[in-house]
């Protein structure tokens, strides 16, 4: 039995803690034959991951996880099998990173007013000159002794209504899917159970996503409970969408699940790696 593809993972190019090469080696060691690197709003990690994938003999799917503002909320859309040199996608992501730069400074100012000094400088140092995520703020605040865990920092400081929160001004759903399609990729609505939407709102999001040209729902995610997997499998089936699966791995010290350690897609799902001609059959691809 080969391990199911893992189509959602992060590296040091965004808020993961493993370099792209180290991530690929870990995937290989875990028996994963097909891995997508999907960093937040950047394609920086892909070239290194591709080089290491050639050495390690696994199939690397170039990807990205794009931040989207929908109905006043932030949702995430994963682009799979994108061409990393596509202009429109690169331009769109550059715009989102410019917003991230401003947001990080603004978060620093707001946390400063709440009595937490140097958060921007601290988060920036942890990002190693790459993009700055709320995760970097959370790591810094744990190191600074402000809270015991990243989860506590998010709950106390970084989510809506808390002192360090800055509302997202990300891409629209339509432009995001448009960038992915223009880059020759497939759009996947990431971890749909994480948005705390009512059933009717979630169905509205799924409908709009499909109408924009979205292809799949991330039915299996490291952040989904078994019940949520089941519910999302039904939603994918009813919306006529393919299903994707990914751990959303962020590194060995993260509380998320281990790379590839997610349940198999339920039988009612049409896996994106089978249905789409862009992916070679994983069993046949690597000896």
Binding mask 156-195 for ligand AMP (x = CB under 6 A): ----------------------------------------
Among 8, 40, 110, 139, binds ligand AMP (CB under 6 A): 40
Place of tokens 């089936």: 237
Is 221 an interacting residue with respect to ligand AMP (CB under 6 A)? no
Among 135, 176, 186, 247, binds ligand AMP (CB under 6 A): 135
CB neighbours of 97 closer than 8 A, spacing ≥ 6?
41, 42, 131
Residue 66 and residue 224: Cα distance in Å, rounded? 19
**Other beta carbons less than 10 A from residue 217's beta carbon:** 26
Burial per residue of 172-201, b for 16 or more beta-carbon CB atoms within 10 angstroms, e otherwise:
ebebbbbbbbebebbbbbbbbbebebeeee
Nearer to Mn ion (CB atom), residue 9 or residue 57: 9
Nearer to ligand AMP (CB atom), residue 33 or residue 40: 40
* Number of residues located near ligand AMP, criterion CB under 6 A: 10
For residue 149, the minimal CB distance to ligand AMP (Å) is 8
For the chain, state the CA radius of gyration: 18
Q: Give the HSE-up count for residue 76: Cα atoms under 13 Å, Cβ half-sphere.
A: 19
For residue 287, the minimal CB distance to ligand AMP (Å) is 35
Among 4, 12, 133, 244, binds ligand AMP (CB under 6 A): 133
Residue 32 and residue 163: Cα distance in Å, rounded? 41
Is 134 an interacting residue with respect to ligand AMP (CB under 6 A)? yes
Nearer to Mn ion (CB atom), residue 48 or residue 65: 65
* Binds 157: which of ligand AMP, Mn ion, none (CB < 5-8 Å by kind): none
Q: Give the HSE-up count for residue 234: Cα atoms under 13 Å, Cβ half-sphere.
A: 9
Residues that bind ligand AMP (CB under 6 A): 15, 40, 67, 133-135, 150-151, 154, 250
């Amino acid at each position: 039995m080969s391990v199911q593809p893992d189509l959602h993972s992060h590296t040091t190019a965004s808020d993961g803690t493993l370099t792209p090469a180290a991530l690929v080696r870990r995937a290989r060691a875990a028996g994963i034959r097909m891995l997508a690197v999907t960093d937040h709003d950047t394609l920086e990690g892909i070239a290194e991951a591709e080089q290491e994938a050639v050495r390690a003999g696994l199939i690397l799917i170039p990807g990205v996880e794009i931040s989207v503002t929908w109905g006043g909320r932030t949702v995430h859309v994963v682009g799979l099998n994108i061409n990393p040199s596509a202009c429109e996608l690169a331009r769109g992501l550059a715009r989102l990173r410019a917003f991230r730069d401003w947001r990080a400074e603004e978060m620093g100012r707001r946390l400063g007013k709440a009595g937490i000094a140097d958060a921007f400088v601290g988060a920036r140092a942890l990002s190693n000159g790459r993009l700055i995520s709320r995760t970097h703020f959370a790591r810094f605040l744990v190191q600074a002794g402000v809270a015991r865990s990243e989860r506590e920092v998010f709950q106390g400081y970084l989510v809506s209504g808390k002192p360090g929160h800055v509302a997202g001004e990300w891409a629209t759903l339509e432009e995001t899917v448009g960038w992915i399609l223009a880059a020759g990729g497939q759009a996947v609505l990431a971890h749909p159970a994480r948005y705390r939407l009512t059933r009717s709102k979630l169905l509205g999001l799924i409908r709009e996503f499909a109408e924009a040209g979205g292809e799949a729902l991330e039915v299996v995610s490291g952040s989904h409970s078994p019940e949520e997997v089941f519910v999302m499998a039904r939603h994918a089936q009813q919306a006529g969408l393919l299903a994707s699966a990914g751990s959303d791995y962020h590194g060995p010290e993260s509380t998320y699940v281990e790379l590839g350690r997610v349940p198999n897609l339920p039988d009612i799902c049409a896996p994106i790696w089978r249905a789409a001609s862009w992916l070679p059959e994983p069993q046949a691809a690597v000896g």
